């Protein structure tokens, strides 16, 4: 009986180790996703800081709500951002090429920071990126505070920088995703979430 009990304990310990290994493997594969208490996918916080270039795939945002998914030719308006529900906590702004599972460029930000209005060419820093939203001009983010170019309503500076995203808010659509300009076969994307998992330090975000 003692041998049988010892064997059962070893089997339970092995099963626990396998479960931990499986969880760790899933976390490495999808660092932002976790199952919520209700069995649905939610996003794990804190999210990665900075501008993500060819880092995420579309399915890694499964825990967020798709709010806006339009071709670059679409005339983005401030209403497309302002209509993100007020209870949303985090927003993802990005771009991907049609037919590709990879998000070419994107960044996470708290809703109120992403929607915060700025004066022309005066972005504010948040979560590792410089964000701007100037009504009648453009919205986007960049790795530096230099987002202006004389005579342009969008961020046309440093066209060789792969970490700049800029959408016109002047009724004409466009403009850039990194070094790609015009972007006839590219898509703009806005996702948000008001649900979140506990952060790794034990405090909710």
Cα torsion angle, 189, 109, 193, 47, sign:
positive
Phi and psi at residue 6, to the nearest 5°: -65, -40
Quote the CA–CA distance of 174 and 73 in Å, as a whole number. 6
97-138 residue pLDDT tens: 999 999 999 999 999 999 999 999 999 999 999 999 999 999
What is the predicted pLDDT for the residue at 32? 61
Residue of 195 and 82 predicted with greater confidence? 82
**Hey, where are the domains in the chain?**
2-30, 46-193
The pTM assigned to this predicted structure is 0.77
The model's confidence at residue 10, banded by pLDDT at 50, 70 and 90, is confident
Q: What percent of the chain has pLDDT over 70?
A: 74
40-79 residue pLDDT tens: 666 665 567 899 999 889 988 877 889 999 999 999 999 9
What is the predicted pLDDT for the residue at 79? 95
Quote the CA–CA distance of 6 and 51 in Å, as a whole number. 52
What is the predicted pLDDT for the residue at 203? 34
* pLDDT above 60 for 199: no
């Amino acid at each position: 009986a003692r041998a049988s009990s010892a064997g059962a304990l070893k089997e339970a310990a092995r099963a626990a180790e396998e479960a931990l290994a499986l969880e760790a493997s899933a976390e490495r594969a999808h660092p932002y996703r976790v199952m919520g208490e209700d069995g649905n996918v939610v996003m794990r916080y804190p999210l990665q800081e900075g501008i993500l270039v060819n880092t995420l795939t579309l399915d890694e945002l499964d825990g967020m709500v798709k709010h806006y998914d339009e071709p670059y030719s679409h005339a983005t308006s401030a209403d497309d951002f302002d209509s993100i529900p007020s209870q949303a906590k985090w927003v993802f702004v990005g771009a991907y090429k049609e037919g590709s599972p990879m998000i070419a460029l994107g960044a996470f930000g708290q809703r109120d920071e992403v929607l915060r209005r700025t004066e022309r060419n005066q972005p504010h820093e948040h979560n590792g990126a410089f964000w701007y939203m100037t009504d009648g001009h453009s919205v986007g983010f960049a790795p530096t505070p230099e987002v202006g170019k004389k005579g342009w309503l969008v961020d046309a500076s440093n066209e060789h920088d792969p970490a700049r995203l800029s959408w016109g808010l002047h009724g004409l659509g466009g403009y850039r995703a990194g070094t790609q300009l015009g972007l006839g076969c590219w898509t703009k994307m806005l996702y948000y979430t008001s649900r979140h998992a506990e952060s790794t330090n034990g405090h909710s975000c």
